[in-house]
Chain A
Amino acid sequence: MTRLQIPIQSATLKNGLRVVIAPDAIAPVVTIGVYYKIGFRLEPQGRSGFAHLFEHMMFQGSENAAKMQHIKLINSSGGVLNGSTMYDVTNYYEAVPSNALERVLWLEADRMRALKVDDENLRNQRDVVKEEVRVNVLNQPYGGFPWLDMPPVAFRNWANAHNFYGDFADLDAASLADVQKFFRTYYVPNNAVLLLLGDVKPEEGFALAEKYFAPIPAGAPPPFADPKEPPQKEERRGHVEEKFGTLPAMAIGYVLPSRRTPEWFAMALLDQALHGGRAGRIHRELVLEKQIAVEADGGIDDLFGYNGPTQLTTRILHKPEYSAEATLAAFDTVIREVQEKGISADELQQLQVKWRSDYYSTLEGGRGGYMPRYGLMHLLACFTLFDHEPQLVNTILDGFLEVKREEVQRAAQKYLRPENRAIVFRTPVKSDAKEAA
Chain B
Amino acid sequence: MATREAEVPTFAPALTPERPVTWPKRTRARLSNGLEVVLAEAHSIPKFHGELYFRAGNALVVDRAPSLAEMTATVVRTGTAKRASRQIEEDLRRLGADLGTNAGQDTSAISFAGLSESAEPILRLVNELAREASFPEGEFERERRQKLEEVKLERTSPGFLAGERLRKVLFGAHPYAQVSPSEAQVAAYKREDLQSVYGEIYTPENALLMLVGDFDPPALLKTIEKVFGDWTGKKPVAKDTAAPPKPRGRRVYLVHIPGSVQTQILAGCHAITRKHPDWLRLGLTNSLYGGAFNSRLVMNIREDKGYTYSPRSGVMPLRQYGYFSVSAAVRNDVVAASLTEIFYEIDRLRSVPVPTPELADAQNYLTGVFSMGLATQEGLLSQFSTVELNELPGDYLETYRDKIRGLTAEDLLATARKYFDSANMQIVVVGDRAQIEEQAALFGELEVYDNQGKRLE
A residues with CB within 8 A of B: 1-2, 4, 24, 26-29, 64-69, 71-73, 75-81, 95-103, 106-107, 110, 123-132, 134-135, 138-141, 198-199, 243-247, 276-279, 284, 287-288, 291, 294, 317, 319, 349-351, 353-354, 356-358, 360-361, 363-365, 368-373, 432-437
Q: Taking each of A75, A199, A244, A277, which has the highest tally of chain B beta carbons within 10 Å of its own beta carbon?
A: A75
B258 at the interface (CB under 8 A from A): yes
**B404–chain A nearest beta-carbon distance, Å:** 11
13 other A-B residue contacts (CB within 8 Å) besides A106-B12, A138-B262, A364-B377:
A27-B372, A64-B11, A69-B9, A71-B293, A103-B12, A125-B306, A131-B262, A141-B156, A244-B157, A288-B85, A354-B96, A365-B379, A370-B369
Query: Quick check: is B19 within 8 A (CB to CB) of the other chain?
Result: yes
A243: chain B residues within 8 A (beta carbon):
259
* Given known contacts A68-B303, A246-B153, A437-B450, A131 and B378 CB-to-CB distance under 8 angstroms: no
B142: chain A residues at CB < 8 Å are 288, 291
Of all chain B residues, the one with the shortest Cβ separation from A212 is B13
Asked if A437 and B258 sit within 8 Å, CB to CB, the answer is: yes
Q: How many A-B residue pairs have CB under 8 A?
A: 267
Interface string of B371-388 (1 = CB under 8 A from A): 111111111111000000
Find B153's partner among A245, A369, A371 (CB 8 Å cutoff): A245
Given A138-B262, A139-B158, CB of A73 within 8 Å of CB of B451: no
**A75-B292, A103-B12, A106-B12 known; A350+B306 contact, CB < 8 A:** no
Q: Which residues of A contact B44 (CB under 8 A)?
A: 24, 26, 364
Stretch at the interface among B196-204, B219-227, B307-315: B307-315
* Distance between Cα atoms of A97 and B368 in the complex (Å): 6
> Per-residue CB proximity of B182-217 to A under 8 Å, as 1/0?
000000000000000000000000000000000000
Contact of A437 among B17, B47, B433 (CB under 8 A): B433
The answer to the question of B149 belonging to the interface, with a C-beta cut-off of 8 Å to chain A, is yes
Cross-chain contact A437 with B329 (CB below 8 angstroms): no
Contact across chains for A357 and B86 when beta carbons are under 8 A apart: no
Residues of B80-120 at the interface with A, using a CB-CB cut-off of 8 Å, are: 85-86, 89-90, 92-98, 113-117
Question: Assuming A139-B262, A357-B114, A369-B376, is B12 touching A244 (CB within 8 A)?
Answer: no
From the candidates A79, A107, A141, A276, name the one contacting B368 in the complex (CB within 8 A): A79
In the complex, what distance in Å separates the CA atom of A21 from the CA atom of B42? 22
Chain A residues within 8 Å of B380, by CB: 369
Contact, CB under 8 Å: B117 / A128: no
Closest beta carbon of chain A to B435's beta carbon, Å: 12
Instruction: Give Cα A297–Cα B17 distance, bound, in whole angstroms.
Output: 48
Interface size class of B (residues with CB under 8 A): 35 or more
Q: Chain B residues near A370 (CB, 8 Å)?
A: 369, 372-373, 379
Contact assessment for A135 and B361 in the assembled complex, using a CB-CB cutoff below 8 Å:
no
Cβ of A134 and Cβ of B368 under 8 Å apart? no
Q: A128-B302, A437-B450 are contacts. A361–B156 as well, Cβ < 8 Å?
A: no
Complex Cα gap A369–B374 (Å): 9
Closest chain B CB from A437 CB (angstroms): 5
- Whether A372 contacts B372 in the complex (CB less than 8 A), given A71-B293, A128-B306, A288-B85, comes out as yes
16 contacts between A and B (CB under 8 A): A27-B371, A28-B18, A71-B293, A71-B303, A77-B364, A95-B372, A95-B375, A106-B11, A124-B305, A127-B306, A246-B156, A278-B89, A350-B94, A353-B115, A364-B45, A369-B372
